[in-house]
Amino acid sequence: MLQIKALGKRYGDFAALAGVTLSVAPGEIVSLVGPSGCGKSTLLRIVAGLDRGFTGSVTLAGRPVTSPSPEVGVVFQEPRLMPWLTVAENIAFGVEGLAPSATKVADAARQVGLGDFLTAYPRQLSGGMAQRCAIARALMPKPGILLLDEPFSALDAFTRMNLQDLVLRLTQQDGVTLLLVTHDVDEALYLSDRVLVLGCAPSQVQEEVTVDLPHPRDRRDGRFAALRTRVLTTLIDLQTPTAS
Amino acid sequence: MSDERITVGARERAALIGEADGERRPATQLWKRLSRLDAWALPVAALAVWEVLSRLGLISPFLMPAPSTILGTLSDLAASGTLMQHLQASLVRVTIGFLLGTLLALPLATLVGLSRPVERLLDPTIQALRSIPSLAWVPLLLLWMGIDEAPKLTLIAIGAFFPIYMNAVAGIRGVDRKLVEIGQVYRFSPLKLARRIIIPAALPSLLTGLRLGLGMSWLYLVAAELIAATRGIGYMLSDGRETSRPDIVLGAILLLAALGKLSDGLLKWLEGRLLRWRDSFTGGDANASD
């Protein structure tokens, strides 16, 4: 589905990404974790077609990525809803040209639990509801891959767990590929088939952890805990100067 | 007198609560109704004091006639039909001048706001023109266009143009880049990006510009009518001065206050309707209990 080879990106003298190579299979769920400022979000923006001027190659379903594509859905850390549009209008925002039927939009709203809020404005929504709306909007054009940039980091723990399940449910039924950037190791392990730990200076994949646990996963499970220890160890090693 | 204890925020509060609390107890209802009148308290009180001082002979009627005298003059003018002519002349001028300014400012501001090359091309010139006090145009306009309607409308349009242009450009440049990115994710064309994201997001600032522009329109209307006119509220002002009729001058001033407030209220109402979605500070109110 997604092939990234020797991806590099510089902002002036600062190398945000220095030769990252990774691939994501169709239907796979992959998480990127790592210290702040190591280019995780930059990588996601490049895949989304929002950042240009990189080196290396990024191909999506065989085609090089140069600009945003309808194959790619994006959920950002902030809901980024249009405050002057209702929930229904926001959900339909990306597919306006296709004139989605009202029932289709209402269905999408119901699937994210906003069926009773079609005519509400974003200011009337809680943070979790707003992010649900953003997820519905991102999935509306039926993307093959959904990119999530720390999508739940601004939410409380309980809401976060709900939304993690929601995203899994909505994407697994259509076999949507997920690429998730997160700071939350538990979130990465709970959702992903593979967790990639991205290191800093140079920004490269330092460790790859395959999560071979069936869904739904139990965060209290012993094997889950062992994987968490492994990812955390890598992260802590990356933080300490002796590691490099 | 309960009028005097009413606080300034109460009217906004009543407007905010709206019909939502229809089933409140009668005492609150009465308070709410009184609250809506709080904006009138100050002007009514001032007029009353003025009237009393005039009647007591403490203010010279040749400098400052009593409100009742002014009202009498205005109603005489209304009865003879001249008041209507003045009002009509001024309203038509303000409307056309303001619309001309708006029609010029909004498209230019949109182009400058959306495109850096257009900004580099046009904005320095527009800023240079802005630094010319608008009244400096008057002699030139009179030379070019005579003393007919054209120079008046042009002056009003110039006055309205700059606040509308400035606020619209600032509004467009103040749009959250994160929202624009959503449009990029969905591959919006530049036109669609402007129509669906940038203009709606810039609307609050755009409407502020329109309100300021309308205020400017009234300012330059008076300037234009004071200089050369045979009708209009500005003409009433100069006519009153020339014939030593302070009651006419003051009547014209009161009319300007009323018309300015009314026209601004119209735009404010429009603003309220168009920006209902907005989630922003609506003003503190010590009485607010909900």
- Tell me how many residue pairs between chain A and chain B have CB atoms under 8 A apart: 51
Instruction: List chain A pLDDT tens, one digit each, 244 residues.
Output: 898 988 888 888 887 888 888 999 999 999 999 888 788 888 999 999 999 889 999 999 889 998 999 999 999 999 999 999 999 999 999 887 777 788 899 999 999 999 999 999 999 999 999 999 999 999 999 999 999 999 999 999 999 999 999 999 998 888 999 999 998 999 999 999 999 998 876 678 888 889 888 888 888 888 988 999 999 988 888 877 654 4
What is the b/e burial string over A109-142, where b = at least 16 CB atoms within 10 angstroms of the residue's CB? Answer: bebbbbeebbebbbeebeebbbbbbbbbbbbbbe
The C-alpha atoms of residue A232 and residue A239 are separated, in whole angstroms, by 11
Contacts of residue A96, Cβ cutoff 8 Å, sequence gap at least 6:
B196
Q: B70-274, what's its fold?
A: MetI-like fold (1.10.3720)
Query: With an 8 Å Cβ cutoff, is A119 touching chain B?
Result: no
Indicate the pLDDT class of residue B25, thresholds 50, 70 and 90: low
The answer to whether residues A138 and A166 touch, using CB atoms and an 8 Å cutoff, is no
* Count of the separate structural domains present in chain A: 1
Per-residue pLDDT at B5 exceeds 70: no
Q: Domain spans of chain B?
A: 1-37, 70-274
For position A181, which CATH number holds? 3.40.50.300
- Which two tokens mark B42? 């100050």
The reply to whether residue A123 touches residue B185, judged by beta carbons under 8 angstroms, is no
**pLDDT given at position B16:** 43
* The three-state (H, E, C) secondary structure of chain A, written as one string: CEEEEEEEEEECCEEEEEEEEEEECCCCEEEEECCCCCCHHHHHHHHHCCCCCCEEEEEECCEECCCCCCCEEEECCCCCCCCCCCHHHHHCHHHHHHCCCHHHHHHHHHHCCCCCCCCCCHHHCCHHHHHHHHHHHHHCCCCCEEEEECCCCCCCHHHHHHHHHHHHHHHHCCCCEEEEECCCHHHHHHHCCEEEEECCCCCCEEEEEECCCCCCCCCCCHHHHHHHHHHHHHHHHHHCHHHC
The reply to whether residue B186 touches residue A50, judged by beta carbons under 8 angstroms, is no
Count of C-beta atoms within a 10 Å radius of residue B226: 15
The residue among A41, A84, A89, A123 with the most chain B CBs within 10 A of its CB, best to mutate, is: A84
The C-alpha atoms of residue B119 and residue A174 are separated, in whole angstroms, by 46
Among B96, B216, B209, B107, which Cα is nearest to B151's?
Answer: B96
Sheet holding A63-64, edge to edge: A14-24, A2-11, A55-60, A63-64
Q: Counting Cβ atoms within 10 Å, is residue B280 exposed (0-12), middle (13-18) or buried (19+)?
A: exposed
**pLDDT given at position A217:** 87
Tens-digit pLDDT profile for residues B128-186: 999 999 889 999 999 999 888 999 999 999 999 999 999 999 999 999 999 999 999 99
What's at B155, amino acid-wise?
L
Half-sphere exposure of B147 (CA within 13 A, CB side): 7
Query: With an 8 Å Cβ cutoff, is A48 touching chain B?
Result: yes
Among A128, A150, A133, A151, which Cα is nearest to A89's?
Answer: A133
The reply to whether residue A84 touches residue B184, judged by beta carbons under 8 angstroms, is no
**pLDDT given at position A241:** 60
The residue among A81, A86, A93 with the most chain B CBs within 10 A of its CB, best to mutate, is: A93
Nearest by CB to A123, from B181, B200, B279: name it: B279
Q: Structural domain of residue A128, as residue ranges?
A: 2-243
The C-alpha atoms of residue B163 and residue B158 are separated, in whole angstroms, by 10
